[in-house]
Amino acid sequence: MLKCLLVVATKKIYMKKYLLYIICCIFFSAIIISCNNNVGEKKETFADSLNRKWWKEAVVYQIYPRSFKDSDGDGVGDLKGIISKLDYIKSLGVTAVWLNPIYSSPNDDNGYDVSDYRNIMKDFGTMDDFNALLKGMHDRGIKLVMDIVVNHSSDEHEWFKQSRSSRTSPYRDYYHWWNAERGKPPYRYSLFDVNHDAWKYDSVTNAYYLHYFSRKQPDLNWENPTLRQEIYAMMRYWADKGVDGFRLDAFQFAAKDTTWPVLPPDLKTDFVKYYAMGDGLHDYLKEMNKEVFSKYDVMSVAEGAGKTLEDAHNLVDEERHELGMAYPFDAVDLAKYPSTPGGEQYSILKFKEIFSKLDSAFAEKGWLSVFLSNHDQSRLVTRFGNDAPEFRDPSAKMLITFLMSMRGTPYYYNGDELGMTNIRFDKIEDYRDVATLNEYQYQKTHSGDLAEFIKRKAFESRDNGRTPFQWDTTTNAGFSSGTPWIKVNPNYAAINAAAQDKDANSVLNYFRKMVQLRKDNLALVYGKYTLLDKDNPAVYAYTREFNGKKFLVLLNFTAKDATVKTGIDISKAKLLINNYSTASANGSLKPYEAVVYEL
Ligand code: NOJ
């Protein structure tokens, strides 16, 4: 353009011709500049709309340390045991591990009763073991997410010992107390108490303390700013060590109405309605974000996500600076103990509706965890699939296909990658879980039907998900050379990691393939989700689309042949994975068949 101006100045004679030239130059330059701007803008919008984060692209593997691998023969899993299995964990392709609590604890609730937040539980090892574990994970490109249990502590924590010692202790307000001269406090339901009563009388100071969980898990008072700062400092202590994220246990219950109003009787059946998302919770999370999360590149997720999708969304809306990821229970809560033998455990239509609603709530902003099992649930394949011998394998693979192809961060609980099943204890003596044991006592003292209770627990007790990991066919499934703290599922002879590792068609190797498929395709992480054949009562069908790539996922959630109508021509589609040796055609699907196509 400059050149063209010079020519105009010196050779007036060609004025007209060059005037035309100038106009063209200006016109085309304007187009080029505007195009460049648009490209820039597009790039920005593209990246912005993704808001990529490592924890969004992660596949989280949850390890229950007590049941994973015992290295010293005391019957309890430990950190050295996990270290010895790091190559196995790496081989799964997972990129992050969520470790259930490993802090000092008297183990009333298997570590969810912390007596020292800055030390390691003796059963699990030492801080040196922890440092070695963290390094071993990082060396393998795996992130570590810690479980932070701060709705309550153990009654053996120094804070509680001080707090209960006198009404004037500086630690008194670290917990919730009700002085007995005021009479009995308004009823609060406790999830784990033998009497369902969350207030426990303590004669030392003639007062009641609050415990939403067991008596040995007194609730911390989040209204106390000194306590809050102690907790943030503790979290920074772990973040400074290099941990990569935090899962906040029961945190939706942390903020309480300390005017202690009388609550309606349905509190017992719907405690979440009254306990979750109390006033102040968002402020505590904002403060925690400022004091901890914002200072590190960490994943942050809290157990539970309130009562509504709006609650869930508000916890993770990026503009609010609270948490990174929501963890709602809507879908997990669907699988119920069937009241009639062989009865429906959950409705597939409802299942699809819940996941579709969740997806839409987080489509624009915020992020979601995708999971169907954890240490508080019985086994994935038993609850959501079918653990009968002929269906265990295809249904476990179908569930893997589902969890690895949804938008959100998938979580996989240890053992589910083998399709481990419920042990179905038939007597109370076999149980170890405080929730099951104390509820049994409650039923006993309240004339409950104990035989029915045992039948129900065989389906739903969390101990089903806590039996030792099945490594191989040696004694105790290779978990421990001692007596395991809880019985090993006798089916380890058939279901174990060593056998599945060797079998190219095993659930384990299917899991590895599906994890890789997700990692290779951002569309499966960020892609738009569209539900197809919505009213199909057997098949869950959807597409995932992103940046010119489109995937079709077809999942038969039943034990019968099924058909699906997607209206999509798959004649030219590429079959990426399926859980039978050949994929069915013409919209028909075999029992629990799962297929993923690239369109
Ligand atoms: C939720 C945890 O996941 C569960 O295992 C524990 O018993 C309760 N919170 C109490 O900490």
pLDDT at residue 589 is higher than 60: yes
Output the CA 328–ligand 1 centroid distance in Å. Answer: 15
Determine if ligand 1 sits within 6 Å of the CB of residue 251.
no
- Do 28 and 69 lie in one domain? The reply is no
Contact 212, 191 (CB under 8 A): yes
Structure tokens at 541: 């069908």
- CA 281, CA 363: separation in Å to the nearest integer? 24
**Interval 292-325: pLDDT, tens:** 999 999 999 999 998 899 999 999 999 999 999 9
Please report whether residue 267 resides in a domain: yes
Provide the whole-model pTM: 0.92
Annotated catalytic residues are: 249, 303
Determine if ligand 1 sits within 6 Å of the CB of residue 595.
no
Structure tokens at 306: 């309130």
- Do 466 and 588 lie in one domain? The reply is no
pLDDT at residue 41 is higher than 60: no
pLDDT band at 343 (very low <50, low <70, confident <90, very high): confident
Q: Domain range holding 361?
A: 58-151+225-518
- The total of structural domains in the chain comes to 4
Determine if ligand 1 sits within 6 Å of the CB of residue 376.
yes
Output the CA 261–ligand 1 centroid distance in Å. Answer: 25
Mean pLDDT of the chain: 92
pLDDT at residue 31 is higher than 50: no
- The enclosing H or E element of 357 equals helix 348-361
Please report whether residue 413 resides in a domain: yes
Higher per-residue pLDDT: 365 or 43 = 365
Q: Domain with 538 in it: what CATH number?
A: 2.60.40.1180
- Do 356 and 479 lie in one domain? The reply is yes
**Residue recorded with tokens 């892609």:** 527
- Do 275 and 312 lie in one domain? The reply is yes
Testing ligand 1's pocket by substitution, the residue of 102, 113, 149, 271 carrying the most ligand atoms inside 8 A of its CB is 149
Instruction: Report the nearest atom of ligand 1 relative to the CA of 434.
Output: 7
pLDDT at residue 23 is higher than 90: no
pLDDT band at 344 (very low <50, low <70, confident <90, very high): confident
**Interval 229-253: pLDDT, tens:** 999 999 999 999 999 999 999 999 9
Contact 288, 235 (CB under 8 A): yes
The 3-state secondary structure of 236-303, one letter per residue: HHHHHHCCCEEEECCHHHCCCCCCCCCCCHHHHCCHHHHHCCCCCHHHHHHHHHHHCHHHCCCEEEEC
Higher per-residue pLDDT: 26 or 317 = 317
- Do 342 and 369 lie in one domain? The reply is yes
Higher per-residue pLDDT: 583 or 168 = 168
Q: Domain with 194 in it: what CATH number?
A: 3.90.400.10
- Do 346 and 453 lie in one domain? The reply is yes
Find, among 519, 567, 571, 507, the residue nearest to 543 by Cα. 567
Please report whether residue 127 resides in a domain: yes
- Do 362 and 254 lie in one domain? The reply is yes
Testing ligand 1's pocket by substitution, the residue of 64, 103, 107, 109 carrying the most ligand atoms inside 8 A of its CB is 109
Please report whether residue 218 resides in a domain: no
- Do 97 and 18 lie in one domain? The reply is no
- Do 231 and 359 lie in one domain? The reply is yes
Please report whether residue 215 resides in a domain: no
Contact 464, 379 (CB under 8 A): yes
Nearest CA to ligand 1 atom 9: 250
Determine if ligand 1 sits within 6 Å of the CB of residue 109.
yes
pLDDT at residue 81 is higher than 80: yes
Output the CA 329–ligand 1 centroid distance in Å. Answer: 14
- Do 544 and 422 lie in one domain? The reply is no
- Do 390 and 291 lie in one domain? The reply is yes
- CA 189, CA 210: separation in Å to the nearest integer? 10
**Residue 12, pLDDT score:** 46
The separation between CA 52 and the C-alpha centre of its own chain, rounded to angstroms, equals 19
Q: What DSSP assignment string belongs to 93-138?
A: T--EEEEPP-EE---TTTTSS-SEEEEE-GGG--HHHHHHHHHHHH
Average pLDDT score over residue span 418-436: 98
Q: Domain with 284 in it: what CATH number?
A: 3.20.20.80
* Cα radius of gyration rounded to whole Å, the chain: 28
- Do 233 and 378 lie in one domain? The reply is yes
What contacts 245, CB < 8 A, 6 or more positions away?
55, 96, 98, 143, 144, 145, 146, 298, 299, 300, 301
Pairing of strands 199-202, 369-370: unpaired
Please report whether residue 219 resides in a domain: no
Contact 97, 243 (CB under 8 A): no
Please report whether residue 217 resides in a domain: no
Average pLDDT score over residue span 128-143: 98
- Within 13 Å of residue 283, how many CA atoms lie on the same side as its CB? 10
Please report whether residue 122 resides in a domain: yes
Output the CA 174–ligand 1 centroid distance in Å. Answer: 20
Output the CA 97–ligand 1 centroid distance in Å. Answer: 18
Nearest CA to ligand 1 atom 10: 112
CA distances from 467 to 18, 198, 331, 461, 491 (A): 86, 29, 24, 11, 11
Instruction: Report the nearest atom of ligand 1 relative to the CA of 192.
Output: 7
CA 533, 536, 538, 544: dihedral to nearest 10 degrees?
20
